[in-house]
Amino acid sequence: MLGSISTESSQHKKDWKQRFSLREKRKEPEPVQSFRPVGIVRRWTSLKLNPRPVTESLTLTEPIRYMSSPSSTANLSSGHPSSASGDRETSKKSNWQVIEHFGSKEKGSLSSSLIAVGSVQKTKYENDSLSNSSPDVEAREVETEELIISPIPKKSTGILLKISILLQKICSTHQFKNEQVEMLYQRYFLKMNQSSMTNLITLLLLLCIGFLFSSSTDFIIIKHSDLFRSSTNRLDKLLVLMSTSGCCIAIYGVLLAVVSKPAMNEVYLIIISYFILLTFLTLEICISFFSEHERPLVGMIFSLASTYLTYALMPIRLKDALLAGIIMATTQIILLLNVGKVTNFIEVGSCFIILLSVNIAGVCTHYPREVAQRKAFLETRQCIEARLKIQRENQQQERLLLSVLPRHVAMEMKADIAGQPKEEQFHKIYIQRHENVSILFADICGFTTLSDQCTAEELVRILNELYARFDRLAAEHHCLRIKLLGDCYYCVSGLPEARPDHAHCAVEMGLDMIDAIALVREVMNVNVNMRVGIHTGRVHCGVLGLRKWQFDVWSNDVTLANCMESGGLPGRVHITQETLKCLGTDYVVEAGNGGERNSYLKDHNIETYLIVAPSYRGGCIPYQIQSTNGNISKEMRIMGHEQGKHSSKLGFNESSPREKNPEDEVNEYLMKAIDARSIDRLRTEHCRVLLLNFRDPIKESKFVLERDRMLSLYFSCSTVCFLTILLVQLGIFNRNDTAILCSIPIISFLTFIPLLVYVKSIKMKYNLKILIFSKYIHRNRNVAQVFSFTMAVCIYILVMLPMTSLPKEIQCINTKVSQENCTYHTYVINNNMENCKQYFLVDFLLLLVMVSMIACAVYQILISLFKTIILLGGMAGFLAVYITYTNQINLYKLCFHNTRESAITLQYINVIILVGFVIALILHGQQTEATYRLDFVWKLQATEEKEDMEHLEAYNRKLLANILPIHVAEHFLNSENNDELYHKQCDCVCIMFASIPNFSEFYVELEGNNEGVECLRLLNEIIADFDELLSEDRFKFIEKIKSTGATYMAASGLTQNTCDMKNFKHVTAMADYALQLRDQLDIVNEHSFNHFRIRIGINVGPVVAGVIGARKPQYDIWGNAVNVASRMDSTGLCDKIQVTQEVYQILYSKGYPLTCRGTIEVKGKGSMETYFLEGYPKMKREPNVIVNPLAQQYIECKSQFDKITLGTISEKV
């Protein structure tokens, strides 16, 4: 809205500067915002914010160290976003390409509830490389320690302070600074989080059903059986457990119904997560009170499982998960001391260590998941950005190409460029024949006076505005502009589609051009006018040569139309008899007498006519008697202001739709893609059902080489779990000699493997082979998986080793206690309690088994199949031990407590928890691997899009270089200059015109040569040979300007790098090129059995270079030096290279042989002394050669050339 309030005058003032913009205006960088932690209030406030347009960069606040790839940065600007050419025969379709599906839909609105939650932390995910699967990127990667550790201020001293800073960095949620991007991220992973929550709630529901069933069964057994010594306390505990389980079942049922709804959003998932955390705490307390001192570790088992599942499966912030884990751990320790009556320091300390390690493992699970998900989101967004950028560049490229070439020619050339080159005898010619067309030539009379009153910038601007008006008129009158030749404009009506009223269109076009120049004459107060000539016939249209493509037409009728313009009168439309026949009686004409003003018309007895001005617009209101409003409307239309439209892009016409903000376009596309995508469909499409490996072996082989940046973190976490298990075993279990001997190699192995992985990360000198092997582990996913699997298996074996001594400890009961008379031996049990720790052994064993399972689950690099094998094997091993010794443990309880515990609840509640925990870890492993693999697919696709973008960029530059000079194309591609017209004052430019004057004799239109097409084919070969010479390094100073008919125009010294004011290399290069053209034409004559003769003219001097024609850009040069060079060609001799005296002075000093022709008369210049260049230099002249004063000015003070008045642009051919 604000943009529309700007004044009209300011808009018109800037419009002309924006015509040649190839890209959007560079946005101002945003000020860096200081980091401030966001609290809970801010968090919930942010959920109510309305989405705003994306104007901020995709950054997060407060940096963590994360190595980025330089190639990625170029992709996202650059995106990239991406490049293989975008015009391949078989284009790649993105998984996210849903524009066609949503093309007719309105832009969706973003729910404010999708804004991310939590505190803010900045990272550099945006700069991550999209193609880091190659080993070559190893030097650009960093380890996990570098990822999670930020630079510590110099004032920070002490290990505790450093640890606190580290924890603060890790626990802060990584939230995008931009709210809309954060909302898209939450929406991106909403379905995945919803699926994870659905699995978790379903599992908890089944778990509570198991608790309810077992407790109900025990309640019935205790109440009706005499075998058990029931008590009111036990029944009350069962009732509490049953009630709690029933309430949780109801809650989980409601939550499951809510989370299964398709209209779920992120806020609901967060609220549901908090409800689940409350049920965790409730169940933990309930189970602890139920087991009390009899089985105090049962509550500990549930606390361990619920704590880790909070980190692994709940879509909440790491800070929230850590807080919940601390609360549950603290609650459990309190329950152990007060309810479980556990007073042994070793046992309490072991429980504390286990809970601490579980929380650390949870952090090491949640943190990599958060990093991986945000990284995957940004890579997916980069993929979409690259695709949209390719689309924009493709559209831009096509608009630019179509602005120079008609569609039917451009599409054919585009397909040939994008395809594979074919070996052919001749270069392909892009020429078509069209009958019944009208050709219009128009020349600006008095342009010399106009150019004398303008600066270089004003001249280019006036020409650009004037030709833009002519282009609009041409489009209105169904005429196709062909080319601009200085101040000459010519177009054709009836191309590319035939029209029965082509003659009327051409005449109306000519009349409107005269009216348009009349308005310029009145505004500028300069005597300028238009001379228009029209002829009707047939033409051959197309493109010749290999460089600087310009659409052109050839035929005898084109030559006649050109002569009709030369023989016309200013302010009048000059037509031939053929055109008049097509007009019928719609216009009043008078005799033109063109033969009196043009020798060609006279020699060919061409009868010409002039349109009488008051009679045109047959059937319409005469011009003089139109209303005032009609006149104003017509004038505004002619001047190009009829709809208030202005060109703002090079090659972009006025009808082009206004481009969207790239950020908004990417976000809109991503939002639609997120709504349309299906994770299950992508998983089915790319991965196998059970193994989850890719169906495409090529993708699988690439995935194997994909490096997991968090590998060191996984091994660090497993090391923590290993040390936890080792400490608990030393404090709780008794080891026999066999267990100790088996533990030594396992412990050594578990110590060595992490160190081997850390070698690459630690900045120390190691053996080269060890360092290479460490890098190999990081690079190869299969090798890393083998080591991860080995670590997990070894940790589990270490857990089970103390069980070898368990039979001896329990044997003390079997040998001294008799089931028939256990009361007699009660004192034996009391005396052996300190030696027989079977009360805690199995429960502690289960805790350690679960810790080993967590150590396995932490390895997100490990495939789910291996995880499933380890988890099921660990559960089976424990159940075997547990079932084997259940009777002995029950016997111990019968003798010690003179009772038997219920056979289901207290004995098998830990089994129920274990089974649920294993299922949850298996589901987590499946989801983790599927996510990683789909992330890799997106990443691989992003890489391909980036490569496509790069190839397309190179292709676009190649295409652009065939239309504009490279330095001009760079000017428009430079974001700093994209809103400016290109114009430049060049002080010392060497201009060459080379023509084949006898080609017109060779060109005949006969049925045998396809009406002249074969003649043009030979001309195409000649021009192509001339173009190929420019690819040689010695001619790098030379730029082809254009080729018109059989005339070839080139210039050197147009840029600062190619203008050598000291040694004049650009002038000598042009001389060598002219000599080479003459030799090349001799070769063509030898092979084609023709006798073509070349005539070349060269001059040096100041020129104005610029691009004119916003809708159809064309690079050209103007100035007196250009006119003189053209005269050197037109007044020269065949097989001769005629140069001016200024060129002579430069070439003579370089040893070139030149002969003086003498003084000749040059139209518009009077008498001039010229020279002929005879050949290549034989020897360099002495530097004391007499130099012409003008040439001396070039050397001593090139700034003086700015004062040279530009001459008129005369006829160049």
Q: Which residues, 6 or more positions from 1130, have their beta carbon under 8 angstroms from its beta carbon? A: 993, 995, 1097, 1211
Residue 737 annotated to the active site: no
Residue 444 annotated to the active site: yes
Residue 822 lies in a domain: no
At what angle are helices 502-524 and 456-476 packed, to 10 degrees?
Answer: 150
What pTM, to 2 d.p., does this model score? 0.64
From the list 601, 431, 556, the residue with the least C-alpha distance to 1004 is: 556
Token output for 878: 């424990």
**How many residues belong to the chain?**
1213
Is 1082 known as a binding-site position? Answer: no
Residue 692 lies in a domain: no
Token output for 830: 């009391």
CA distance 790 to 154: 41
Q: What does the pLDDT read at residue 883?
A: 82
Chosen domain end from 804, 837, 860: 804
- Tell me the backbone φ, ψ of residue 655, rounded to 5 degrees: -80, 0
Residue 429 annotated to the active site: no
From the list 855, 837, 849, the residue with the least C-alpha distance to 799 is: 849
User: Terminus-to-terminus CA distance in the chain, angstroms?
Assistant: 52
Q: Is the dihedral of CA 934, 936, 942, 947 positive or negative?
A: negative
3-state SS string for 1012-1023: CHHHHHHHHHHH
What CATH code is carried by the domain that includes residue 1089? 3.30.70.1230
DSSP string, 883-913: HHTHHHHHHHHHHHHSS---TTHHHHHHHHH
- Please, are residues 927 and 60 in contact by the beta-carbon 8 Å criterion? no
**1019 and 1167 part of one domain:** yes
Q: What does the pLDDT read at residue 839?
A: 52
| Alpha-carbon distance values, 252 to 272, 577, 1063 (Å) | 10, 93, 87
- Three-class DSSP category at 504: helix
Residue 309 lies in a domain: no
Q: Which residues, 6 or more positions from 854, have their beta carbon under 8 angstroms from its beta carbon? A: 308, 358, 361, 721, 921
**1044 and 1170 part of one domain:** yes
**385 and 452 part of one domain:** no
Chain segment 319-365, per-residue pLDDT in tens: 899 999 999 999 999 999 998 888 889 999 999 999 999 999 999 99
CA distance 226 to 58: 71
Chosen domain end from 608, 639, 670: 639
CA distance 99 to 392: 13
**343 and 434 part of one domain:** no
Q: What does the pLDDT read at residue 841?
A: 80
Indicate the helix (H) or strand (E) that contains 761.
none
**Residue 931 C-alpha from the chain's centroid:** 22
Is 1125 known as a binding-site position? Answer: yes
Q: What does the pLDDT read at residue 974?
A: 63
**958 and 1029 part of one domain:** no
Is 603 known as a binding-site position? Answer: no
Domain tally, the chain? 4
Is 445 known as a binding-site position? Answer: yes
Residue 2 lies in a domain: no
Q: Does the N-terminal peptide bond of residue 496 adopt cis geometry, omega within 30 degrees of 0?
A: yes
Q: What does the pLDDT read at residue 86?
A: 40
**1013 and 1094 part of one domain:** yes
**332 and 386 part of one domain:** yes
**151 and 275 part of one domain:** yes
Chain segment 558-568, per-residue pLDDT in tens: 999 999 999 99
> Which is the catalytic residue, given 128, 320, 471, 487?
487
CA distance 1080 to 1077: 5
Q: Which domain holds residue 1139?
A: 980-1203
Q: What does the pLDDT read at residue 954?
A: 75
Chosen domain end from 599, 618, 639: 639
Is 615 known as a binding-site position? Answer: no
> Which is the catalytic residue, given 443, 552, 979, 1072?
443
**254 and 380 part of one domain:** yes
Q: Which residues of the chain have pLDDT under 70?
A: 1-160, 162-163, 166-174, 225-232, 397, 418-425, 456, 614-660, 676-680, 763-766, 805-840, 886-904, 972-981, 1109-1111, 1179-1213
Q: What does the pLDDT read at residue 335?
A: 93
Residue 60 lies in a domain: yes
Is 340 known as a binding-site position? Answer: no
- Three-class DSSP category at 538: strand
Is 448 known as a binding-site position? Answer: yes
Residue 832 lies in a domain: no
**204 and 321 part of one domain:** yes
Q: Which residues, 6 or more positions from 1024, have their beta carbon under 8 angstroms from its beta carbon? A: 427, 544, 545, 546
Residue 929 lies in a domain: no
Q: What is the DSSP pairing of strand 529-543 with strand 573-576?
A: parallel
Residue 69 lies in a domain: yes
> Which is the catalytic residue, given 201, 287, 444, 1096?
444
Is 443 known as a binding-site position? Answer: yes
**98 and 178 part of one domain:** yes
Burial 892-920 (b: 16+ CB within 10 A, else e): bbebbeeeebbbbbbbbbbbbbbbbbbbb
3-state SS string for 551-617: CEEECHHHHHHHHHHHCCCCCCEEEEHHHHHHHCCCCCEEECCHHHCCHHHHHCCCCEEEECHHHCC
Q: What does the pLDDT read at residue 973?
A: 64
**182 and 98 part of one domain:** yes
Q: What does the pLDDT read at residue 764?
A: 62
Q: What does the pLDDT read at residue 726?
A: 93
